Amino acid sequence: MRAQVLLPKVFNFSFTYNTNQKKLRLGDIVEVPFGKKREIGVIWPGKNLEIKKIKIKNIHKKIDKFSLKENLIDYIRWFATYNMMPLGLVLKMVIGNGKNFFIKKDKDIDQNINISINSKFKLNEEQKNALNFLNLKNDKFDVSVLQGTTGSGKTLVYFERIKRIISEKKQALVLLPEIFLTNEFKSRFFDFFGFDPAIWHSKITPKNKRIIWKGIMNNKIKLVIGARSSLLLPFKNLGIIIVDEEHDTSYKQDEGVVYHARDMAVARASFEKIPIHLISSIPSLETFNNIQNKKFRHFKILKRYNNYPLPQTKIVNLNLKKIKNSFISEESIEIANKFLNKKEQVLFFINRRGYAPYLICKKCGFKQICSSCSMYLTFHKNKNKAICHHCLSERKISKKCSEGKICEFIMYGPGVEKIYEEVKKIFPSNKIEIFSSDYMKKKDQVNSLFSRISKNQVDILIGTQMISKGFNFPKLNCIIVVDADFSGRGYDLRTTEKNIQLYHQLSGRAGRFSSESLIVYQTLSPENITLNELIKNNSEEILKKELALRKKNLLPPFNRLLAIIVSANLQSLSFDGAREIKKHLEKISDIEILGPVDSPLLKIKNKYRSRLLIRFKEKNFKQKQISNLLNTLKISNKIKLTVDVDPVNFG
């Protein structure tokens, strides 16, 4: 008998093997000889080809107890087609490289499910209504959006939801946008459920991965909290998927295997025929559109959990103050002092890592630019180096410029370290801490900072974007946005959307336990429309306007975009390569090909990048045709193709 076996490797096809085992079924996990090695693979659907010249090898054995369900096989096939990637690579995301099945000694995790009923968790009326709304469709595919301002207690609602699913002996998956949030959430889960959830992300140890894999496949693990990649795990009996902070652009994986985890999670739910909840304070534009046209159900929690109002807002017009060498206005200092005097915490928010985003010589105008990327270098004072935020290369600042003269660099623009210095001068007697990814690389650093903040041993925080995400600081009641800039970079079509989400999230950090809280926007453009709608708490208006604009410009979600990035060592190679590919793509009907153009970030890691953008109607599923065509092309090994379906970044 013949059988097809898909291996978790880069191939887009399965291999034919002989077998004498009659009981083999689709999805069974088997050990097969491959080259000189043994590999793990999955019995895969497909024609058993009659191959005459090649000796067909035998399947070595079946790995008992483990197999993939048919709907997961269908999902893997769909996922590979949609995202235009090899089947085997998708399988690798599902079962790993297979080595897991050779090791038998690991202890199992058994999430002993005795959900403790902790009386400190009580839903208010609005939350109860939200829960009833989500409970409405329990056994079939259904996308529902739970929207609620930050601090409205959405998490508690979906915890209750998970409780029900687990009590029905099914498994639950919670997706979070960032790895560091999984640890922060772990304790909240434990508090509520009385057991530790399994944590899944790229940084966990191979051993833990193995244990979780097995636990998921035999249904001993009931609850997984994970980053993007967890959505492909081989659950045995998945009952629900929750995507928290669904609007977060971190869900889009930009490097390596490119896919959008939120959209792929919705698809997974549909293949599994289970409900999925998207949780957000302000939905993404795509989700907002799906709510408007009634594809997704929608419930909005209006009040904050403890009934505390959102912070009041104030705009400080930086044009009116001629402050020398200072990024913080007199007015902001006065406001901060008011809160500090009440022993409450103040946050200065600046969305730039490092000390200064630009280094320019004031004598010759020389700018510090990364030698392998078209990017300005950011000066980091803690390392005393200039760092490229793209390729992470570091450089000592050399005093000599290209002409051999002695340069005198000025630091242009503020970064978080610069603001830290300034705040220290203004408030010398206060305890001040930086909250930025560069300072929180290690887990214990993060934990100790959290504990100091919650014990009120910190008066002032200087934070970057990281602080806007999901943290809970009870004493934080005043936020000062140092540089509220809504102009954005020209090539990002999501600037407006990202900004309203960022600042809404950020403002939600303040006043969680106080009726008097304030967010101050220092800005050079006080008339900006987005800023003013934001202050009126009118995100819906902004989203509606954005949608109208997208429709007019034939952009997503009204059309699908697909980017093909061609990279090479020479600019002419990448550009000509892209032009050549375009010629071939033009044979495909019902698509529009824009470009090639140079990418806005022309050079990354010494590779020049040219981009084609393909646009087509969403109902025309063109990926398959485009993949097939690309596969027939003889592409020079001097250029590299990267395909990005539904691109989020246009750098």
Q: Which residues bind Zn ion (CB under 5 A)?
A: 361, 363-364, 366, 370, 372-373, 388, 390-391, 401, 407
Q: How far is the CB of 651 from Zn ion (least distance, A)?
A: 13
**Nearer to Zn ion (CB atom), residue 46 or residue 600:** 600
Spatial distance between the Cα atoms of 577 and 575, rounded to a whole number of angstroms: 5
Q: How far is the CB of 421 from Zn ion (least distance, A)?
A: 24
Of the candidates 188, 194, 224, which has an alpha carbon nearest to the alpha carbon of residue 450? 188
Q: How far is the CB of 398 from Zn ion (least distance, A)?
A: 10
Asked if 262 and 230 count as a contact pair (C-beta separation under 8 A), the reply is no
Which strands make up the sheet holding 378-380, listed edge to edge?
A: 378-380, 385-387, 394-395
Spatial distance between the Cα atoms of 649 and 643, rounded to a whole number of angstroms: 13
**Nearer to Zn ion (CB atom), residue 164 or residue 389:** 389
Q: Which two tokens stand for residue 375?
A: 């990017």
Q: How far is the CB of 221 from Zn ion (least distance, A)?
A: 40
Give the torsion through C-alpha atoms of 567, 650, 263, 201, to 10 deg.
Answer: 70
Task: Report in angstroms the alpha-carbon separations of 400 from 372, 376, 395, 396, 397.
Answer: 20, 18, 13, 12, 9
Q: How far is the CB of 376 from Zn ion (least distance, A)?
A: 10
Q: Which two tokens stand for residue 643?
A: 């395909």
Of the candidates 451, 473, 475, which has an alpha carbon nearest to the alpha carbon of residue 150? 473
Looking at residue 617, the DSSP 8-state letter turns out to be -
**Nearer to Zn ion (CB atom), residue 372 or residue 525:** 372
**Nearer to Zn ion (CB atom), residue 159 or residue 409:** 409
Spatial distance between the Cα atoms of 492 and 135, rounded to a whole number of angstroms: 38
Q: How far is the CB of 375 from Zn ion (least distance, A)?
A: 5
**Nearer to Zn ion (CB atom), residue 230 or residue 574:** 574
Largest CA distance in the chain: 85
Q: How far is the CB of 604 from Zn ion (least distance, A)?
A: 7
Task: Report in angstroms the alpha-carbon separations of 206 from 81, 98, 443, 456.
Answer: 28, 12, 18, 38
**Nearer to Zn ion (CB atom), residue 227 or residue 373:** 373
Q: How far is the CB of 406 from Zn ion (least distance, A)?
A: 7
Torsion region of 294: left, alpha or beta (phi above 0 gives left; psi -120 to 50 gives alpha):
left
**Nearer to Zn ion (CB atom), residue 35 or residue 365:** 365
**Nearer to Zn ion (CB atom), residue 165 or residue 604:** 604
